[in-house]
């Protein structure tokens, strides 16, 4: 890895105003900047989060980086006190490069653990050379280096927070052998995995993981939204927790999230039958709760569009576990109330969802089960049943195209609203402005507002949620 040369190159690229802002944030240990930048200390060769409890170093000994991998590439190792591996991820909010952001998301989901860089490039519709150039320009690392570093940081988090055996942690982090894991971990982070292990290992399938976010976070609004749409058997939700059953690849199980409001963290209790997809599952929990949003930036933009005193700070995007489930919920919610849609989704889960082990809990139905059913138990027009079956059949026939939502519009019965709703909640796309939604129209009418898509961009989804939260009726 580079060292002083990388430091000089990077420092020249950061202007004085940014450095001053970062200096103030680190001295005040401002959690709103957690994950947005990292502090590298030249004298110790360690990099930290802005909220690190260690004594603040002198400014002349500090270099700032906007990602952990850039600090690592400059020769720094992660702090053992503040654990940079646990910081919120800010990559999705840096810049406007859609291809780069999508590549990062796919790598974080583990695509390079089973596919080559060339196959990832094909999926993105670009050449391998251009993909490597993007990562070199943005992060100063190759896609494979980024993937390995991300795997090591996730493994470090598991070593700190769980009692899983190191062999299982290696597997959960995407390494096929313990030797490969040990070598990569030591080379990347500068210490052996065993050096971090303090607790006795256990074979239990129940894990407790702590995830960080940047405040503010309006948990009462988030939980109220989820409670209202909570599907019995699939989900369980109260004011202080939310849980649901999950399936990711071959892994099945469930999780419960409990916000620790005073600490800008959430406790996740996770039960899964196999650890293969653990990294992707944790990333998806982060997405479902929108933990990586730079919500201050969103609030600063959108608060100017609403009357003084009307804006509700900290509103996040409550995600849905999978894009397929989001599409199904959108179809069942076409032109009906939230209450009616809730009843239809409950019937679907009750009739077609696989039971989870010996529990009375059920998984959300898979595309094959929905496509094969007549859906006669759903009390709605037959045309909408057929739309749901066509949609499920498309998902079953095109598993590799599942993220290409634009193709849904070719299916009879699926229009822009259905597509937009699914992208907003199934992918947490930040810029979906549901102007055609009846609830949004009613909220705008109540406040006598006229807001264009251009005004809402690039945070249209957050404005949609803001207006839904301000409705006095359905």
Query: C-alpha dihedral over 404, 407, 412, 414, to 10 degrees?
Result: 50
Strand bridging mode 46-48 / 62-65: unpaired
Q: Which two tokens stand for residue 220?
A: 């009462």
pLDDT for 474? 41
The CB density around residue 245, as the number of other CB atoms within 10 Å, is 25
Res 358: pLDDT: 66
Spell out a b/e string for 339-376, using b for 16 or more CB atoms within 10 Å of the CB, else e.
Answer: eebbbbbbbbbebbbeebeeeebbbbbbbebbbebebe
How far apart, in Å, are the Cα atoms of 292 and each of 120, 177, 258, 446?
23, 31, 17, 32
Other residues' Cβ atoms within 10 Å of the Cβ of residue 10: 20
User: What would the mean pLDDT of 12-19 be, rounded to a whole number?
Assistant: 61
Residue with tokens 């990347």: 188
The mean-pLDDT minimum among 79-83, 196-200, 304-308, 325-329 falls in 196-200
Q: What is the CATH number of domain 320-427?
A: 1.10.340.30
Question: Is the per-residue pLDDT at 62 higher than 80?
Answer: yes
Position 330 scores a pLDDT of 97
Work out the percent of the chain whose per-residue pLDDT is above 90: 62
Our CA angle for 371, 375, 377, nearest 5°, is 155
Decide if pLDDT at 241 tops 50: yes
With cut-offs at 50, 70 and 90, classify the pLDDT of residue 33.
confident
CATH of 92-195, one of 2.40.37.10, 3.10.20.90, 3.40.50.150, 1.10.10.60: 1.10.10.60
| Residue in the structure block whose two tokens are 């040990």 | 182
State the pLDDT at residue 96.
42
Portion of the chain with pLDDT greater than 70, in percent: 92
Among 108-117, 146-155, 239-248, 334-343, name the one with the lowest average pLDDT.
Answer: 108-117
- The reported pLDDT for the residue numbered 110 is 84
d(CA 388, CA 439): 23
**pLDDT at residue 137 is higher than 50:** yes
Helices (H) and strands (E) in the chain, counts: 20, 9
Assign 258 to helix, strand or coil. Answer: strand
The number of residues making up the chain comes to: 474
Q: Are 362 and 350 in contact (CB under 8 A)?
A: yes
Q: What is the mean pLDDT of residues 31-47?
A: 91
Count of C-beta atoms within a 10 Å radius of residue 116: 12
**Domain spanning 4-85, CATH class:** alpha beta
CATH of domain 205-275: 3.30.310.20
- State the pLDDT at residue 470: 85
Confidence of residue 1 (pLDDT cuts 50, 70, 90): very low
- Span 256-273, mean pLDDT? 92
pLDDT-derived band at 200 (thresholds 50, 70, 90) equals: low
Identify the residue whose tokens are 């000089």.
8
pLDDT in tens, 382-432: 999 999 999 999 999 998 777 788 899 999 999 999 999 999 999 999 999
Domain ranges of the chain: 4-85, 92-195, 205-275, 300-308+428-474, 320-427
**Interatomic CA distance for residues 11 and 19, integer angstroms:** 9
Query: How confident is residue 368, by pLDDT bands cut at 50, 70 and 90?
Result: very high
* pLDDT bucket at 369, cuts 50 / 70 / 90: very high
Stronger pLDDT, 92 or 19, i.e. the higher one:
19
pLDDT tens digits, one per residue of 320-365? 999 999 999 999 999 899 999 999 999 999 999 999 976 789 999 9
Q: Which single residue is written with the structure tokens 């809730």?
A: 342
CA distance 133 to 300: 33
Q: Is the pLDDT of residue 375 over 80?
A: yes
């Amino acid at each position: 890895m580079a060292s002083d040369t990388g430091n000089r190159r990077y420092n020249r690229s950061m202007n004085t105003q940014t450095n001053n802002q970062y200096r103030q944030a680190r001295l005040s240990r401002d959690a709103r900047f957690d994950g947005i930048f990292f502090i590298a200390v030249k004298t110790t060769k360690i990099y930290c989060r802005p909220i690190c409890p260690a004594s603040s170093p002198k400014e002349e000994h500090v270099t700032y980086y906007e990602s952990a991998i850039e600090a690592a590439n400059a020769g720094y190792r992660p702090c053992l006190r503040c654990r940079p591996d646990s910081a919120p991820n800010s990559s999705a909010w840096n810049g406007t490069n859609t291809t780069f952001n999508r590549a990062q998301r796919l790598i974080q989901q583990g695509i390079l653990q089973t596919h080559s860089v060339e196959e990832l490039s094909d999926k993105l519709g670009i050449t391998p050379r251009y993909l490597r150039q993007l990562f070199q320009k943005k992060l100063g690392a190759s896609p494979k280096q980024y993937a390995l570093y991300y795997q090591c940081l996730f493994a470090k988090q598991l070593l700190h927070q769980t009692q899983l055996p190191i062999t299982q942690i290696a597997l959960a982090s995407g390494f096929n052998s313990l030797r490969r894991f040990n070598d990569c971990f030591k080379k990347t982070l500068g210490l052996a995995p065993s050096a971090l292990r303090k607790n006795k290992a256990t074979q239990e399938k129940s894990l407790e993981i702590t995830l960080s976010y940047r405040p503010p976070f309006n948990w009462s609004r988030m939980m109220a939204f989820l409670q209202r749409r909570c599907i019995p058997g699939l989900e369980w939700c109260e004011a202080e927790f939310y849980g649901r059953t999950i399936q990711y690849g071959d892994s099945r199980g469930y999780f419960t999230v409990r916000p620790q409001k005073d600490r800008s963290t959430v406790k996740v209790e996770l039960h899964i039958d196999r650890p293969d997809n653990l990294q992707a599952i944790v990333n998806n929990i982060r997405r479902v709760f929108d933990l990586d949003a730079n919500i201050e930036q969103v609030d600063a933009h959108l608060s100017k569009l609403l009357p003084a005193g009307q804006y509700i700070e900290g509103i996040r995007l409550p995600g849905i576990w999978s894009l397929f489930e989001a599409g199904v919920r959108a179809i069942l919610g076409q032109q009906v109330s939230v209450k009616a849609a809730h009843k239809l989704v409950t019937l679907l889960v009750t009739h077609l969802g696989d039971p989870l082990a010996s529990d009375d809990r059920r998984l959300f139905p898979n595309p094959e089960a929905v496509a094969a059913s007549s859906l006669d138990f759903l009390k709605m027009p037959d045309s909408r049943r057929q739309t749901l079956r066509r949609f499920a059949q498309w998902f079953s026939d095109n598993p590799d195209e599942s993220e290409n939502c634009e193709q849904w519009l070719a299916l009879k019965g699926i229009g822009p609203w259905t597509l937009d709703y699914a992208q907003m909640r199934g992918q947490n796309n930040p810029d979906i402005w549901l102007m055609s939604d009846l609830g949004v129209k009613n909220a705008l009418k109540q406040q006598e507002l006229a807001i264009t898509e251009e005004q809402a961009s690039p945070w249209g989804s957050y404005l949609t949620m803001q207006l839904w939260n301000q409705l006095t009726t359905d």
